[in-house]
Amino acid sequence: MEIDRRRNLLKQVQAGELSVDDALRAMGEADVADLGYAHVDLHRRERCGFPEVIFCEGKTCEWVEGVVRKLCEAGQDCLATRVSAEQAEHLARQFPGGQQDRLGRTFWLPTAPAKSITGQVIVLTAGTADLPVAQEAVVTARALGCAVTLLADVGVAGIHRLLRHQAKLSEADVIVVVAGMDGALPSVVGGLVDCPVIAVPTSIGYGAAFHGLAPLLTMLNSCSAGVVVVNIDSGFKGGYVAATIARRCCKRTVSQSE
């Protein structure tokens, strides 16, 4: 529930216009919207700092639309991930103001422009094939209010491609490293920087990569102390965690003009 609405309810109780039980009931009802097929958590922004995010896989276009509408009615920003082509077309018709990213398969509908951008997140990919997962991380971190730079195709097979960006890496508050195949890039990056490194294994690779299991195990066994790992192909989780950290321990605040 929004702070202003909660305050108004409390004022009504104070003035004797509303009973305590009625006020509690109103607060409880406003925190969750029951759509029949979904219970939309309208209190998550207050608890966690960002509204509920819609995971679109397995949902009909109408279900996704319903959750988007409810979030918009509550005055909350709306981020949807794993948006299919069919869902994207449907959302574009229903919400023409939404921002679609077909590479990252995301849909972003903010209620208002961001007032400030806080925290520097850099997203790296080992290869070009990792870009869809990386772009999901990029969109997510930007939605959470961070400045994001994407550096693609800087894997260990050509380590010089990474090292030429070392000065830029040193400016980051958090770095997200997206890699498949052998998954070695996060360990290398972790040995070059003084900030947290969020490793995202991808399902890119030949048979022995086991659809991302091999890079996942490599990253979990990283020798670099500053590396932590999220799930396979989970660009959303990588971007979300990175932005949460960056906003709390950023090295500088970025103006909109930068």
Residue 236 belongs to domain with CATH number: 3.40.50.1970
Q: Does residue 227 or residue 37 have the better pLDDT?
A: 227
Looking at the domain assignment, is residue 172 inside a domain? yes
Q: What is residue 65's predicted lDDT score, i.e. its pLDDT? A: 96
Confidence of residue 257 (pLDDT cuts 50, 70, 90): very low
Q: At what angle do helices 85-94 and 61-73 cross, to 10 degrees?
A: 40
- What is the mean predicted confidence (pLDDT) over 25-36? 72
Sign of the Cα torsion 151, 51, 54, 209 reads positive
Rounded CA-CA distance 140/237 in Å is 8
Residue 163 has pLDDT above 60, yes or no: yes
Q: What is residue 258's predicted lDDT score, i.e. its pLDDT? A: 47
Residue 220 and residue 153 in one domain: yes
Q: What is residue 27's predicted lDDT score, i.e. its pLDDT? A: 64
CB 101 within 8 A of CB 137: no
Q: What is residue 94's predicted lDDT score, i.e. its pLDDT? A: 94
Residue 64 and residue 153 in one domain: no
Rounded CA-CA distance 228/119 in Å is 19
Instruction: List CB contacts of 85: < 8 A, sequence separation 6 or more.
Output: 102
Q: Does residue 22 or residue 128 have the better pLDDT?
A: 128
For residue 124, give both structure tokens.
């790296």
Residue 10 and residue 104 in one domain: no
Q: What is residue 101's predicted lDDT score, i.e. its pLDDT? A: 95
Confidence of residue 110 (pLDDT cuts 50, 70, 90): very high
Rounded CA-CA distance 120/169 in Å is 10
What single-letter DSSP state applies at residue 231? -
Residue 197 and residue 238 in one domain: yes
Residue 6 and residue 80 in one domain: no
Q: Does residue 19 or residue 192 have the better pLDDT?
A: 192
Confidence of residue 31 (pLDDT cuts 50, 70, 90): confident
Question: Domain limits at 1?
Answer: 1-34
How many domains does one find in the chain?
A: 3
Looking at the domain assignment, is residue 39 inside a domain? no
Residue 72 and residue 140 in one domain: no
Place of tokens 């990213």: 101
Looking at the domain assignment, is residue 50 inside a domain? yes
Least confident of 49-53, 149-153, 164-168, 221-225: 49-53
Q: In whole numbers, what is the pLDDT of the chain averaged over residues?
A: 89
- What is the mean predicted confidence (pLDDT) over 205-221? 95
